[in-house]
Chains A and B, each alone.
Chain A
C-alpha cells in the first residue's frame, strides 16, 4: 500500500492531520516524491525531445547575437494587419468572448471565397474550412483525425521537424523519402529546384498501409517549390494508392524568381483527398497571432472538426477577426502591385539575395531557394577545416557547428540535420539553415558579423 514516501510520511503524521496542517507539511513533501506508476502516456514515447527548445534557448542566452534561426520576421507586419488587430481589440467588446468553434464566421467566409478562387473549387465556409491554432495546430488536428496505429505516413526529407513526432503521437509509422541534390556544374550555385525526388523511389514508398502523404511546398528548410510535374506524380500516386495528401502550404506567397506556387488540391482528383493547410502568421507576418486553417472536403474535414472540438474547441476570436479583415483587404488588392502578397515576396527576395551574396563572400555555399523563409548553406569547407568542434560523441557536425557559431561568431542558424530522420542525419550534417525574412538592419548586422569572422580567418 505504501508505495512512496508521501504515504509513509502521512502515516507517521496521521494524528496531526486533524489540525490545520496546510503549509508546513506541504513544504516538506513538496516536489520530493514521484508516483510509483509510470506517469506519462505511451503516445509521448520518443517525442519528448524538441531541438527548438535547445536552440531557441541558446539564442536567447547569448548576448549580441544576430538571430537568423527560428522562422519569424523581425520587421513589422503590414499596417493594414496591425490596424485590423487594433480594430478587433477596441471595437465590439463581444469579440472578447467565444466565437463559433470551427471558425469566426467572417474569417471562414473570406477563406472560403479567397481560396475557392485559387483552388478552382466551390468552398463552403462551414463544411470545408476549419480555423486552427496556427498551421501547427492544423497539422496536429489532421494527424489525429486520420492517422491510426500502424498507418504509414510518407514524409519527404528534409521536413519541418514536427511531422515526424506528430505521426508518432498518432501511432503512425513515418516513411521517409529524400530530396537529393543533383550534382551542379563546378562553380555554379546550387538551387532548391535542383533537389529532387527519385520517381521510382517515391513510388516504392507507397504500400497498402500508407494512410497519408505530407507535402510541404514551398518547402522548409530547403525552399523548394514543387513543380506541376512533381505534384502530378505525387497526385497520381496518392490516387493510385488511395492516400490522403496533407499539404502544408504556409509559405505559399513566399515564392521568388517567377516560380509559381501550385496547390495540389487544385489538380484533378485531388480536392477530395487533400487537406490544404495555411497560416496567417506566415501570410501576414504575424506569427504570434497563431491563426491557421485547413481547407478540404467535408468527408475529411468532419473528422478534423471532431478532433478540434475535443482538443481546443475554439480559437481566439480577435486574432481571427483581424485575419479576416486582412484577407478582405488583400482580396481587393489581389494581383495588383499594392497587394501584400506581391510586395512581401519582392522584399523577401531582396533579403534572400543579400544573404546569399554575404554568405558566399564568406566561403559558405548557399542553396538558392525558390521560395519559403529559408535557405540552406553547405558548410563542407568549414567541416574540412574544423572537423573537431565541441559536442557529444554522436552529435551531428552541423549541430556542433551551429552552437560554436552562436557562441563564437554571434550568428544563429539552425542545423539542417534536425530536418532529417535519424538514420539520414549523418548524410546531411554539412548544411545549416538561415532565415532571411529579416529587417535590413538585421542583415547589416549579419554582414558585420561575417566580415569580422572573415577578418579572423585571414592571417
Chain B
C-alpha cells in the first residue's frame, strides 16, 4: 500500500500533501499548532525541483569502502542458520557463560544509574579491574585512564587502532591466514596490507600441530621496509590455533624495533591455551611496550560474545589516538555491561591460581573438546591440525575427495565449495580457511576448513553422529 503511494508521489506534485496527511492520519494526531509564520517560509517550492529525479550517481559510496562490501560471515551464517544444520562455523559459544557472570549482569540490570552514559574511554570500575588484572602480566603499573581504552568488542579495538594509527600509503604486515577483518580494515584506512604466510613444516610421524606452522624469518624480514607502519599479530591464532613461542615473538619484536614499526597484537584467545603451551605478550618484550597495542575481548574471555566489549592496552602516546577515534565514532560503550564485566573480573582476579577461575577452567574444558574433535575428524579420514590454543581446529578435507560437481560457481575456492556441499548434504557447517587468506594465498589454504569447538556436548554429539555416518558411507 505504501509502495503504491510512493510511486504515485514520484509522478506528480499533488500527492505530496496527501502523503503527509496520510501519515498523520495513521498517527491519529492533529496537524501541528503554533507554528511560526515567516513570509520567507511560505514560498512555494518550484515544481521543477521536485519528484521524478533519478537516483544519482553521487550516492555512490565513499572511496574508503570500495570493494569492502562482501563479507564471508554474512554469507556463511545465513547458510548455517537452518536449524537442522549442526553449526561448527562461526566462533560463537553455544555453552552458557559462567553462572556468576550472568548473575552479575542480572544484578546490575536492576541498578538505576547504570542505565545512563558512563566515561567515554571506559567505565571507571572496568578500567580499574583491567588495570589490576593486566599489571600482573606487564610487571608494571597500567594507568587505567591513559593506557586502557574500552571498545565495542575487540573488533572495535582493531578498528580504533587502525583508524588511529594507520594512514593512507602506509604498509601493514598481515600474517596469513588472518582474521578476515584485518585486511578490510587496513584497506579502509587507505593503507596496503603486505601478506606473509605461515608455512607448514610437519615432523614425520608426529601428529600435525599448529606449532608446525611458522613464519620464515627471512621471508618475514623481507616484508618490512620504511613504509611499514605496523604488523598485526594474532596469538593464539585464528584459525590455526597457533600459540607463538617466545622465540617467534622475539623475531617479530626485533623487526619491529629495527624498522620502528608498531605492533597491533590481537590476543582475544589469550586464556585459551592448552597443555604444554604458554601465551606470551609481545608488549612485555624489551622495547615493545611503547610500540604495541594489545587487544583483549570480554566475549572470548567470559564466553559472552554478545556483550561486545573489548579493550586496548598500550602506552599513553598510542592509546590517546585510539581515544580520539573513540570520541569521534561511538563515544562510549554500554554502561551496564561494562559494570557487569568489571564485577566478573573482580571475582576471577581474586582466584587466579584456583582451578575454579574461569581463566583456568575454560581452557581445561575446551582441551577435552579439542581432543574429541581431533579424534572425530580422524575417524572420517580428515587430517586435522591440532591447535595449541583458541577454539578452532582446521582440517585438510582434500583427502576425502568429495565429488563437488553439483556445486555451482566453479570460481570459488575448493574449501568454499566443500563447506557449502557439507552444509547442504551433511548438515554440518564449518568455515572455509581460504576466507582467511588474501587472493594470492587462497590456493595454499583451500583444502582446509575450520571447525569451532566451543560447543556444548550435545552439539558435538550431533556432529559426531554426522561424522560417523559419513565415515560409514565412505568405508
Cβ–Cβ < 8 Å partners of A314 in chain B: 153, 155, 306, 308
CB-based nearest A residue for B189: A41
Cβ–Cβ < 8 Å partners of B40 in chain A: 198-199
Known: A98-B306, A122-B2, A169-B328. A148 touches B59 (CB 8 A): no
The CA-CA distance from A61 to B145 in the complex, in Å, is: 15
B68 within 8 A of A: yes
CB distance from A423 to the nearest CB of B (A): 21
Cβ–Cβ < 8 Å partners of A315 in chain B: 152, 308
A309 within 8 A of B: yes
**B120 with A44: CB separation less than 8 A:** no
CB distance from A28 to the nearest CB of B (A): 9
B376 within 8 A of A: no
Cβ–Cβ < 8 Å partners of B321 in chain A: 39-41, 44, 48
**B109 with A133: CB separation less than 8 A:** no
A146 within 8 A of B: yes
A136 within 8 A of B: yes
**A310 with B260: CB separation less than 8 A:** no
Known: A269-B10, A286-B115, A312-B330. A97 touches B55 (CB 8 A): no
Cβ–Cβ < 8 Å partners of A97 in chain B: 92-94, 304-306
Q: Which of A42, A120, A258, A307 has the most CB of B within 10 A?
A: A120
Within 116-140 of A, Cβ neighbours of B (below 8 Å) are at 116-122, 133-134, 136-137, 140
Among A13, A145, A147, A268, point to the contact of B9 (Cβ < 8 A).
A268
A144 within 8 A of B: yes
Within 12-66 of B, Cβ neighbours of A (below 8 Å) are at 13, 15-16, 19-20, 22-23, 26-29, 31-36, 38, 40-43, 45-46, 49-51, 53, 55-56, 58-59, 61-65
**B49 with A240: CB separation less than 8 A:** yes
**A335 with B115: CB separation less than 8 A:** no
A58 within 8 A of B: no
**B334 with A290: CB separation less than 8 A:** yes
**A120 with B59: CB separation less than 8 A:** no
**A229 with B317: CB separation less than 8 A:** no
**A72 with B116: CB separation less than 8 A:** yes
B327 within 8 A of A: yes
The CA-CA distance from A10 to B55 in the complex, in Å, is: 60
The CA-CA distance from A305 to B114 in the complex, in Å, is: 30
The CA-CA distance from A41 to B109 in the complex, in Å, is: 39
**A287 with B155: CB separation less than 8 A:** no
**A133 with B74: CB separation less than 8 A:** no
- Of the listed stretches A87-95, A372-380, A403-411, name the one at the interface; the rest are far from the partner chain: A87-95
B166 within 8 A of A: yes
B318 within 8 A of A: yes
**A268 with B16: CB separation less than 8 A:** yes
Known: A146-B62, A227-B32, A267-B20. A93 touches B330 (CB 8 A): no
B97 within 8 A of A: yes
A66 within 8 A of B: no
A424 within 8 A of B: no
CB distance from A141 to the nearest CB of B (A): 9
The CA-CA distance from A285 to B113 in the complex, in Å, is: 11
Query: Scoring B residues 254 to 269 as 1 if CB is less than 8 Å from chain A, else 0, what string do you get?
Result: 0001101010000000
The CA-CA distance from A262 to B21 in the complex, in Å, is: 12
Query: Scoring B residues 306 to 341 as 1 if CB is less than 8 Å from chain A, else 0, what string do you get?
Result: 111100000111101100110111111111110000
B184 within 8 A of A: yes
Count of B residues near A, CB < 8 Å? 128
Cβ–Cβ < 8 Å partners of A47 in chain B: 324, 328
**A140 with B5: CB separation less than 8 A:** no
The CA-CA distance from A317 to B106 in the complex, in Å, is: 15
B229 within 8 A of A: yes
The CA-CA distance from A101 to B69 in the complex, in Å, is: 13
B181 within 8 A of A: yes
Query: Scoring A residues 253 to 289 as 1 if CB is less than 8 Å from chain B, else 0, what string do you get?
Result: 0000111101000111101110000000100011111
Query: Scoring A residues 32 to 44 as 1 if CB is less than 8 Å from chain B, else 0, what string do you get?
Result: 1111110111111
Cβ–Cβ < 8 Å partners of A21 in chain B: 286
Query: Scoring B residues 94 to 124 as 1 if CB is less than 8 Å from chain A, else 0, what string do you get?
Result: 1011000010011001101111111110000
Query: Scoring A residues 152 to 178 as 1 if CB is less than 8 Å from chain B, else 0, what string do you get?
Result: 000000000010011001100000000
The CA-CA distance from A34 to B55 in the complex, in Å, is: 50
Among B74, B92, B113, B332, point to the contact of A98 (Cβ < 8 A).
B92
CB-based nearest A residue for B317: A34
Cβ–Cβ < 8 Å partners of B13 in chain A: 268
CB-based nearest A residue for B95: A93
**B140 with A27: CB separation less than 8 A:** yes
Cβ–Cβ < 8 Å partners of B327 in chain A: 50, 52-53
Among B163, B299, B309, point to the contact of A41 (Cβ < 8 A).
B163
The CA-CA distance from A27 to B156 in the complex, in Å, is: 29
A385 within 8 A of B: no
Cβ–Cβ < 8 Å partners of B120 in chain A: 52-53
A454 within 8 A of B: no
**A193 with B53: CB separation less than 8 A:** no
Cβ–Cβ < 8 Å partners of B286 in chain A: 6, 9-10, 13, 17, 21, 25-26, 29
The CA-CA distance from A374 to B307 in the complex, in Å, is: 31
A319 within 8 A of B: yes
Among A22, A194, A299, point to the contact of B284 (Cβ < 8 A).
A22
Cβ–Cβ < 8 Å partners of B185 in chain A: 310
**26 pairs, A vs B, C-beta closer than 8 Å:** A6-B287, A7-B287, A13-B286, A31-B290, A41-B165, A41-B167, A42-B168, A44-B321, A89-B105, A93-B102, A118-B23, A133-B152, A133-B330, A140-B329, A193-B36, A228-B20, A233-B43, A267-B16, A268-B13, A290-B334, A302-B69, A310-B68, A310-B159, A316-B306, A318-B105, A335-B27
Shortest 3 CB-CB contacts between residues of A and residues of B: A288-B335, A317-B306, A260-B32
